[in-house]
């Protein structure tokens, strides 16, 4: 492109620098309009994110305590709820073009949001560490001669190679892994049907039945904490419909489908243990491929999200540290947790992380979709009391209840308590002096302009048209 064309493009506010995307992946700024991506690419990233080792574990757990009709309904309803939560949070990311952790600035204040972002990032990596440990345990049962530590290190090298390339790396991996996982899941499904027959599946009665709400809760708990991170993906979307469609494909056709495959396979094999299930079905090689690819795509997405958290936090604190550095740090955290060998406490870990991070999704929905319905948002420079109080109340409250799904309880408590505290401290008392947006001083904070969904789609189309025109001059 010649100098005149470059000038025209710069005046449009459109980014053409691939280096910026690789080194920072827009971790500290909104994704430029011309960097938004089509539906297929973002939908495949959703699928790759939601298909995980935990989906197979969840399906086995549900099958062990439910009849087939109950299991199917529990999986569909559970993932339907995830579609709703993920889409609501995702629309916020689509409209703003910002990461989950930038959006935390509105809820907690810019400076203090670094604390919440780091907690969220470390939590995500700890979760991945538990999944890696579960994967290597299962792999050891399937392939006893292969060392666990070597499998962990090889896997760590693989995920580093793809995750270090940011969203572009996620998209490439997911476009390959998504269809491959669907094909492998189809193979496992028909192998299970051939071995057991439809009559066995239809007549299945668990030895120790579990309540339906518990089965549904298991389907929800697997990804409910991740529903609050969807802005990291949807900030690349071109339309709001892409957000809702991507969430439906990711949760229902991704996590839900694989949970159902695991249900059928577990009933056919008569066990919820993954290693026993796949061994009895004669699916050793497909099992290794399915579990490895599923964990790879999920790990990539979580590392991507956590590295965004650390990059944004370092920028707020005045340190310009490239995102690839934080990607490597994330991998090291996950590997370190995996070597701790805490996979046996997977259910307890899900409950804890759900209570810790679940409120953030409810608070985000309350702040950006309920309490502030305009396009201008006040971002306190240092601290927002209502956010911290709501997070503490919701987190502790969800652990104090006897809820079957603590993470969902945490989201509801986060949503309600944030509204209450915001109306008291930010509206009634005007504690942070942000009530009148036209009188905000620089030392108080800043104003973000977040367009409506229709305005974003229109601006994306106009940017693409102008870019095409500029390139032809």
pLDDT in tens, 42-72: 888 888 888 877 787 788 889 888 999 999 9
Task: Write the DSSP assignment of 284-326 as a string of letters.
Answer: HHHHHHHHHHHHHHHHHHHHHHHHHHHHHHHHHTT----HHHH
CA distances from 347 to 198, 247, 386, 389, 434 (A): 31, 24, 31, 27, 42
CA angle 327-329-335, nearest 5°?
A: 105
The token pair that represents 346 in the structure block: 């997977």
The verdict on residue 398 lying in a domain is no
DSSP helix/strand/coil, 85: helix
CA distance 88 to 453: 12
CA distances from 411 to 16, 21, 180, 392 (A): 39, 32, 34, 12
**Is the pTM higher than 0.75?**
yes
The verdict on residue 106 lying in a domain is yes
- % of the chain surpassing 90 pLDDT: 22
In total, how many domains does the chain have? 1
CA distance 471 to 246: 31
Model confidence band, residue 27 (pLDDT cutoffs 50, 70, 90): confident
CA dihedral 222, 223, 224, 226 (to 10 degrees): 140
Q: Which domain holds residue 267?
A: 34-345
Residue 2 has pLDDT above 60, yes or no: no
Max intra-chain CA distance, the chain: 74
The verdict on residue 76 lying in a domain is yes
Place of tokens 């995500």: 124
CA dihedral 377, 378, 379, 383 (to 10 degrees): -140
Residue 23 has pLDDT above 60, yes or no: no
Give pLDDT, residue 1: 40
CA angle 178-182-185, nearest 5°?
A: 135
Put residue 270 in one of left, alpha, beta given phi > 0 → left and psi -120 to 50 → alpha. Answer: left
What is the pLDDT averaged over residues 410-438? 87
Model confidence band, residue 434 (pLDDT cutoffs 50, 70, 90): low
The verdict on residue 379 lying in a domain is no
The verdict on residue 430 lying in a domain is no
Give pLDDT, residue 9: 36
Residue 16 has pLDDT above 60, yes or no: no
CA distance 258 to 52: 8
6-10, 215-219, 399-403, 437-441: least confidently modelled range: 6-10
The verdict on residue 467 lying in a domain is no
Specify the higher pLDDT residue, 128 or 389.
389
Give pLDDT, residue 194: 79
Residue 118: Cβ-neighbour burial (10 angstroms; 0-12, 13-18, 19+)? middle
Cα 82 vs. chain centroid, distance in angstroms?
Answer: 11
Residue 76 sits in a domain whose CATH number is 1.10.4160.10
pLDDT in tens, 286-339: 777 777 888 888 888 888 888 888 888 887 777 888 888 888 998 999 888 888
* Segment (H or E) for 376: strand 376-380
- % of the chain surpassing 70 pLDDT: 88
Residue 347 has pLDDT above 90, yes or no: no
Specify the higher pLDDT residue, 350 or 57.
57
The verdict on residue 61 lying in a domain is yes
pLDDT in tens, 145-198: 888 889 889 888 888 888 887 777 778 888 888 888 888 778 878 877 777 778
The verdict on residue 392 lying in a domain is no
Model confidence band, residue 19 (pLDDT cutoffs 50, 70, 90): very low
3-state secondary structure string, 154-222?
Answer: HHHHHHHHHHCCHHHHHHHHHHHHHHHHHHHHHHHHHHHHHHHHHHHHHCCCCCCCCCHHHHHHHHHHC
Specify the higher pLDDT residue, 352 or 113.
113
CB hemisphere CA count around 143 (13 angstroms): 16
73-77, 306-310, 359-363: least confidently modelled range: 306-310
Residue 240 has pLDDT above 90, yes or no: yes
């Amino acid at each position: 492109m010649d100098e005149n064309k470059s000038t025209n493009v710069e005046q449009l506010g459109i980014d053409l620098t691939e280096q910026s995307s690789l080194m920072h992946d827009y971790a500290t700024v909104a994704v430029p309009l011309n960097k938004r991506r089509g539906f297929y690419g973002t939908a495949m990233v959703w699928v790759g994110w939601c298909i995980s080792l935990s989906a197979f574990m969840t399906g086995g757990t549900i099958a062990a305590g439910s009849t087939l009709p109950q299991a199917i309904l529990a999986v569909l309803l559970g993932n339907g709820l995830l579609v709703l939560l993920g889409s609501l949070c995702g629309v916020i990311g689509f409209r703003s073009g910002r990461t989950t952790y930038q959006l935390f600035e509105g809820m907690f204040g810019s400076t203090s949001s670094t604390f919440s972002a780091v907690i969220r990032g470390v939590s995500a990596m700890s979760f991945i560490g538990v999944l890696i440990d579960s994967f290597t345990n299962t792999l050891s049962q399937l392939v006893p001669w292969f060392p666990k530590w070597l499998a962990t290190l090889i896997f760590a090298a693989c995920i580093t190679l793809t995750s270090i390339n940011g969203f572009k790396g996620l998209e490439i991996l997911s476009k390959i892994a998504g269809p491959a996982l669907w094909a492998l899941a189809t193979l496992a499904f028909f192998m299970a049907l051939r071995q057991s027959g439809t009559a066995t599946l239809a007549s299945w009665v668990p030895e120790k039945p579990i309540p339906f709400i518990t089965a549904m809760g298991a389907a929800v708990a697997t990804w409910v904490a991740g529903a609050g991170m969807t802005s990291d993906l949807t900030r690349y979307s071109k339309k709001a419909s892409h957000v809702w469609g991507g969430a439906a494909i990711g949760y229902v056709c991704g996590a839900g489908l694989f949970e159902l495959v695991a249900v059928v396979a577990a009933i056919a094999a008569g066990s919820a243990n993954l290693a026993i299930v796949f061994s009895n079905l004669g699916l050793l090689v497909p099992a290794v491929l399915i579990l490895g690819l599923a964990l790879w795509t999920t790990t990539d997405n979580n590392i991507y999200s956590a590295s965004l958290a650390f990059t944004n936090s370092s920028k707020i604190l005045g340190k310009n540290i490239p995102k690839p550095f934080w990607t490597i740090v994330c991998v090291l955290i996950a590997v370190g947790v995996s070597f701790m060998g805490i996979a046996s406490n997977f259910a307890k870990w899900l409950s804890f992380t759900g209570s810790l991070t679940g409120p953030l999704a409810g608070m985000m929905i309350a702040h950006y979709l309920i309490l502030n319905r305009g396009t201008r948002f006040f971002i306190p420079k240092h601290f927002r009391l209502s956010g911290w109080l709501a997070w503490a109340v919701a987190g502790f409250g969800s652990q104090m209840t006897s809820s079957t799904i603590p993470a969902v309880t945490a989201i509801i408590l986060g949503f309600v308590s944030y509204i209450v505290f915001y109306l008291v401290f930010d509206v009634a008392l005007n504690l942070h002096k942000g009530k009148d947006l036209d009188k905000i001083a620089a030392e108080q904070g800043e104003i973000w302009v977040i367009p409506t969904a229709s305005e974003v789609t229109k601006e994306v189309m106009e940017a693409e048209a102008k870019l095409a025109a500029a390139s032809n001059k």
